[in-house]
A and B are shown apart, each in its own frame.
Chain A
Amino acid sequence: MTDPNSPPASLSQQVKIPESISGLEPVRSVRSPIRLVYDFVPSPPVQEYLRSYSKKKILGHRSPIDGAVFVPPRGVDPRHGVLIEESVELSDRGHVGNFCVTHLPIPGRDDLDTPYVSAWIHLDGASVGFLGLVAGCENDEVHIGMRVQAVWKKEEELGNTAENILFWKPTGEPAVPIEKAGNRAWDQTNE
């Protein structure tokens, strides 16, 4: 077996260093952050979805095949390869399908104190979840199936963005049983 710590002899031939820099410490790496700024142009369904947030409404798309409701709407049912044209207005209430208690700060969200709860929110009437912040209770009180409702920004601060919802807070309603929480709900109703 070759020694993992010594590179193969034929690969470790010394590079000849010019005399003018021979006394200097070799540069092994240069840290050079790169950035790519681009304009995002949402598709028409996503535009409609983002604009509806300014009216404190959440839009979904209903599949013509089996009635599944997707949020955010993307204009297609990817399972069947069909276009979706029917929008539905969804409740701003739902349940926690699943969640993570995150102890790491994330870039661009200096406003979040760790640990915080990121959760898959399954809105009433929706067939898939999306991510949201759960607050308004202790982190260890959050559980799968917990009923939650959106806490919106003040009217004057509303924009065309999902960030209009500051966080999701517990409603105190009875929890959704774990076997019907999150994506499990779809299996239950359609089989």
Chain B
Amino acid sequence: MSAELTAVLGVGQTKYSSTRGDVSIAGLCREAAYRALEDACLDWKEIDAVVIGKAPDFFEGVMMPELYLAEALGAVGKPILRVHTAGSVGGSTALVAASLIQSRVHEKVLTIGFEKQSESNATWALSLPQPFSVSINAGAGGYFSPIIRQYMSRSGAPELIGCMVAFKDRQHALKNPYAHLHQNDLTFEEVVDSPMLWNPIRYSETCPSSDGACAMVLGNEASGDRAENPVAWVHGTAMRSESNNFPGRDEVNPLASRQCAADVFRQAGITNPLKEIDAVEIYVPFSWYEPMWLESLGFAELDQGWRMVEDGTTSLLGGELPVNCSGGVLSSNPIGASGMIRFAEAALQVRGMAGDHQVDGAKKSFGHAYGGGAQYFAMWIVGAEKP
């Protein structure tokens, strides 16, 4: 028996910002959930189950927040399920929600990812001393900087490609009212001149620290057919993971990433991603990850992804493959929501509801998230038409 067709019926986001001091975590999540229901033209009571994801509990210090959030998310008397896969969690949370529809366990599922970074310190939460090694790593940037350095060495990419990605994504963010960073006067020179934090990563090439939540309502084929607003149909879903340190590991282009991409493209019947995908939302918390993932995912040849940045292929302004039209993780990073934002933005593109950052006529789009030491992957492909 084939899987039930699954549709994105609604998307809801909060305005991402450094501090949402006016709401609690519950208020933040409820705002996104409310908007997703509104977009889906559904009421809380029509939802069968809630699937929620966020990054590690110790960021905000609220253990198992799904329990305390059940009432705010209308989940009393319904199943509520927590997903945790580090930074990729927003993506894998959406995929777990989709699997509940695909398997015909439920007909309509609310899924939500959130982070309230203002109530935590993620960089230092990720720099916990380990008893069996020296304490020397400074947060995620400290971990990814050597991998980026290796990519730069082996690809021979020009030094300022990362700055070009950062500048492009911040320009895209100006077209997205929900984006955290709206740097109207930012110049490319300012990006280049910003201080090094984790050489070769500059301050301007890193994601901000954001509060925010993103929610989606997913439904089965019948609810997709009945929906008042356009829906996005799920064409493929895949998750993979691997250890972050083993002999021969390719840290730049992890095997799990390649296998995950191969699986999701096979499901969607896509053989030439660059030609067949119209819009891409990939998880780029540090600028250089745009060309790195474009290669790993098969949108570019190995060591050639940077050329797509350099020649403007990934720009919303006339590029063949606009990447992160929303402004991406580089412009908004509520960690636990960031993956879901990628998935939701991919859905908005094929629904034709992305507003000023809409790619004209987008029919198929790709959503992506990664986490941990570039070791957890979640991907989906959504389309305007049924698969």
Contacts and interface: CB of A to CB of B under 8 A. Distances in A.
Interface of A: 1-5, 7-8, 10-11, 28-29, 34, 40, 42, 46, 49-50, 68, 72, 78-79, 97-104, 106-109, 112, 115-116, 118-120, 127-133, 144, 162-163, 165, 178, 182-184, 186-187, 190
Which of B30, B153, B243 is the most central at the interface, judged by chain A CB atoms within 10 Å of its CB? B153
B250 interface: yes
Contacts of B178: 4
Nearest to A164: B134
B245 A128 contact: yes
Contact of A144 (B127, B131, B133, B150): B150
B84 to A, nearest CB: 18
B376 interface: no
B127 A107 contact: yes
Given A144-B149, A178-B153, A103 B197 contact: yes
Contacts, number: 141
A102 B134 contact: no
Contact of B149 (A78, A100, A112): A100
B132 A131 contact: no
A1 B355 contact: yes
A4 B177 contact: yes
A100 B34 contact: no
B146 A183 contact: no
Contacts of B22: 7, 28
A182 to B, nearest CB: 7
Given A11-B27, A106-B127, A116-B136, 10 more contacts: A1-B177, A4-B178, A7-B23, A78-B243, A98-B146, A100-B141, A100-B198, A101-B199, A112-B136, A133-B134
Contacts of B251: 98, 183
Contacts of A116: 136
Q: Which 9 A/B pairs are nearest by Cβ-Cβ distance? A: A101-B199, A98-B146, A186-B248, A100-B145, A127-B247, A4-B15, A186-B247, A40-B131, A68-B247
B347 interface: no
Interface residues of B, number: 53
A4 B150 contact: no
A100 B135 CA distance: 14
A120 B146 contact: yes
B332 to A, nearest CB: 11
B78 interface: no
Interface in B133-157: 133-139, 141-142, 145-147, 149-150, 153-154
B63 to A, nearest CB: 11
Contacts of B118: 29
Contacts of A103: 195-199
Contacts of B141: 100, 104
A133 B136 contact: yes
Interface of B: 13-15, 21-23, 27, 30-31, 34-35, 38, 61, 118-119, 123-124, 127, 129, 131-139, 141-142, 145-147, 149-150, 153-154, 177-178, 195-199, 243, 245-251, 355
B118 to A, nearest CB: 8
B23 A102 contact: no
Nearest to A36: B58
B270 to A, nearest CB: 29
B150 A8 contact: no
A127 B355 CA distance: 50
A109 B197 CA distance: 17
Given A98-B149, A103-B197, A187-B248, A108 B21 contact: no
Contacts of B250: 183
Nearest to B245: A128
Nearest to A33: B61
B200 to A, nearest CB: 8
A119 B150 CA distance: 12
Contacts of B245: 128-129
Contacts of B249: 183
B246 A109 contact: no
B132 A42 contact: yes
Contact of B150 (A42, A49, A182, A187): A182
Given A1-B355, A29-B21, A42-B131, A8 B34 contact: yes
Contacts of B132: 42, 46, 49-50, 72, 162
B31 A131 contact: no
Contacts of B153: 144, 178
Contacts of A144: 149-150, 153
A90 B195 CA distance: 39
A101 B198 contact: yes
A153 B61 CA distance: 37
B190 to A, nearest CB: 18
B124 A162 contact: no
A10 B34 contact: yes
Nearest to B139: A104
Contacts of B123: 104
A125 to B, nearest CB: 12
Given A103-B197, A183-B250, A7 B137 contact: no
